[in-house]
Structure 1
Amino acid sequence: MSAEVVLSGLLAGYGVAVPVGAIGALIVSLASRHSWRVGAAAALGVATADGLYAVIAVLGGAALAGLIAPISGVLRWVAFAVLLALAGKTARDALRHRHEAAVARPTDGRRAYLTLLGLTLLNPATIVYFGSLVLGRRADDGLSAGAEALWVVAAFVASASWQLFLAAGGSLLGRVLTGARGRLWTALSSSAVIAVLAVMLVIPGS
């Protein structure tokens, strides 16, 4: 039973984490433009949000989907605005500093963690995903509190491992493309991807 619970939790965590969208692009961008520490902090912010939704799922919030449905549109537009602002700031900073030497300019890991935590909590896809898990759970599944906790931990570990993998990839990319031209290209590319994915959040059927 424990193995089944762990496998179920891992699949749930990877299911929500693996599709690389705007959040994943942000993690890669932060790690490539700043440091592994900042990227890892951002990655753990995303994993924490996924873990919180997993906790909500196992606590049996069967009414979650109903509570979120009335404000899902608002959440989409909030996330859209925040992501566009981040994309704009990324592009502006890249253009402003394009002639500077390639020096380490670390940002606050705590800020990266909180920003990505907040963005992931606003992500309607994450809410819908774990809401679906809640609705799919049977009330008589017979799992103990310990088994439920194990499921949450497995989901968190799966999400964290994938997000940290993205951060590691971003960090390596940053080391390879250390020149001014390379840093400008990656920053502008990341900004464009984030902007496109932000727009997709508010396009019906996307």
Structure 2
Amino acid sequence: MHAGQGGSAVWTVPNAVSMVRLALVPVFAVLIVSGEDVWALIVLAVSGASDWLDGFLARRLDQVTKLGQVLDPAADRLFILVTLIGLLWRGVVPWWVLALVVLRDVLLACLAPVLARYGYGPLAVTMVGKAGTFALLYAFPLLLLAQTPGPVGTVSRAVGWAFAAWGIGLYWLAGWHYLAQTRRLVRAERDRERREGPA
């Protein structure tokens, strides 16, 4: 079975959760730019919880779908990107944090046409990739909370940057795993084509 296969249903509970998370992206963008930090923190918390919830429901309800396999990581990446842009706008994170995340996603985007050429869909999300996403989604509200003066801000800054470092590291480790997996799949398909010869 090629990577990325699943059911063809669209309107499932996990997909609805992912769609809600996508709908929260512009809401968060407006809140963070407007300086509404409390509401922005709430939206980030809801997004982080929904990221765990949709995967849990998909497995628990046996509702893993092709759309969900694309929608869930797409929602994660879009939320991470918009959040980082908002935090960069506010001066909460430096530009290189955004650059590291974007470069990794550009790498994955370059793999998509290679996989499609050999009949493969998006690769299944790995535990390493999911752990990196979780770490980043935990880091963002903490880094935003770090703007609070006093002990709360100090502790949030230390813990937030620890989560951010782990998240970026795991994000890139997962990217390396996806690259290696793509190379294995392409090599296997080319070997099969050589054995079978021209059609």
TM bin, normalised by shorter chain, reads 0.3 to 0.5
Given the two structures, how large is their TM-score scaled by the length of structure 1? 0.33
Q: Which protein, 1 or 2, shows the higher relative CO under an 8 Å CA cutoff with sep ≥ 6?
A: 1
Given the two structures, how large is their TM-score scaled by the length of structure 2? 0.34
